[in-house]
Amino acid sequence: MTTTVAVLSGKGGVGKTTVCASLGLGLALQGHKTAVIDFDIGLRNLDLATGSHRRILYDFINVLEGEAALGDALIRNRHCDTLYLLAASQTRDKSALTEEGVGRVIQQLGDAGFEYILCDAPPGMEHAAKLACHFADQAIVCVTPDTASVRATDRILGLLQSHRIDNQPDTLHEYLLINRVNQFHLDSGAALTTAAILETLAIDLLIEVPECNRVAAAWSEGKPVLADTESAAAVALRNAVAILSGQPIKPVVGEVKPAGLLGRLRRR
């Protein structure tokens, strides 16, 4: 059984790739065969976040166009041998992403025993993000605690809802991940509270991930921040992995709340 997860956002730069790399590593470290796919054609980054950028021979578009076999394009992670990356093309046109092609790759990954497929989408709800959602069982929508990001998130949640109504059965479960939560900004009133964000967006909360200076360091080391033992972001992301895979979580008071406590609030 394969679970496909689309990692989305309304606004750019809110942490999708950071989250996708870490959740992928976390699931893989639990022993699940996991693929992370970069849907951000032309602006790839997941290769950097996972430390695989020097080992790309073939990419997602090469596979979709029949220029490479999926097995030759998948890059095994150097820190965890159950984690694989399918990199985005840096030079090709995203129109090569077709529903038929993406569906075929996801089917092939399932046939090859992958238990989790995480799709790192570009921001917004254009072609590639729609395709990432089209085959997903779950969507993790990333937001930062500011008005611009929440407004953009509200917009894409509405688009997601109408895309779903038009194109697929209502089986996609959406979760919100609030990234870069900063207590200093909350105390000074410069950031929106989680309660205010949830009231606006009416979506289940997966996790709050704190602002953490280890994230940038992890990017430069090519090792997802989840691999850190102590950093606050790593603890939150490991808890997100536990929630996604149905394991018990390690609560961090004031930072982490499991999904479901707020009930399933459907968008109207």
Ligand X SMILES: Nc1ncnc2c1ncn2[C@@H]1O[C@H](COP(=O)(O)OP(=O)(O)OP(=O)(O)O)[C@@H](O)[C@H]1O
Report the interface residues with ligand X, using CB under 6 A.
Answer: 9, 12-18, 40, 45, 123, 179-180, 209, 211-212, 215-216, 219, 233
Which of residues 109 and 128 has its CB atom nearest to ligand X in the complex? 128
16 scored as a contact of Mg ion (CB under 5 A): yes
Helix%, strand%, coil% for the chain, nearest 5 = 40, 15, 40
CA distances from 55 to 59, 114, 159, 246 (A): 11, 21, 36, 33
Closest contact distance (angstroms) between CB of 108 and ligand X is 25
Residue 48 vs 243, nearer CB to ligand X: 48
Tell me: does residue 18 bind Mg ion (CB under 5 A). no
Interface with Mg ion by CB under 5 A: which range of 44-52, 69-77, 89-97, 234-242?
44-52
Minimum distance of ligand X from residue 158's CB (angstroms): 19
Is the Cβ–Cβ distance between 167 and 134 less than 8 Å?
A: yes
Written as six digits, the tokens of 172 are 């996609």
Rule CB under 5 A: is residue 44 a binding residue for Mg ion? Answer: no
Q: State the binding partner of 177 from Mg ion, ligand X, none, CB within 5 to 8 A by kind.
A: none
Identify which of residues 17 and 50 has a Cβ nearer to ligand X in the complex.
17
- Which one of Mg ion, ligand X, none is in contact with 222 (Cβ closer than 5 to 8 A by kind)? none
Give the one entry of ligand X, Mg ion, none that residue 102 binds, where binding means its C-beta sits below a cut-off of 5 to 8 angstroms depending on kind. Answer: none
Cα 256 to Cα 239: distance, rounded to the nearest angstrom? 8
Q: Which does 223 bind (CB under 5 to 8 A by kind): ligand X, Mg ion, none?
A: none
The piece of 43-51, 67-75, 244-252, 259-267 that touches Mg ion (CB under 5 A) is: 43-51
Indicate the residue among 200 and 211 with the shorter CB distance to Mg ion: 211
Judged by CB under 5 A, which of 17, 50, 149, 231 binds Mg ion?
17
Binding flag, residue 50, Mg ion (CB under 5 A): no
Question: Quick one: 132 or 256, whose CB is closer to Mg ion?
Answer: 132
Based on its alpha-carbon atoms, the radius of gyration of the chain, rounded to whole angstroms, reads: 17
Q: Which is nearer to ligand X, 115 or 222 (CB)?
A: 222
Residue 38 or 115 with smaller CB distance to ligand X = 38
18 binds, options ligand X, Mg ion, none, Cβ within 5 to 8 A by partner type? ligand X
* Number of neighbouring beta carbons within 10 Å of residue 175: 20
Q: Which residue is nearest to Mg ion (CB)?
A: 17
Site residues (CB under 5 A) for Mg ion? 16-17, 45
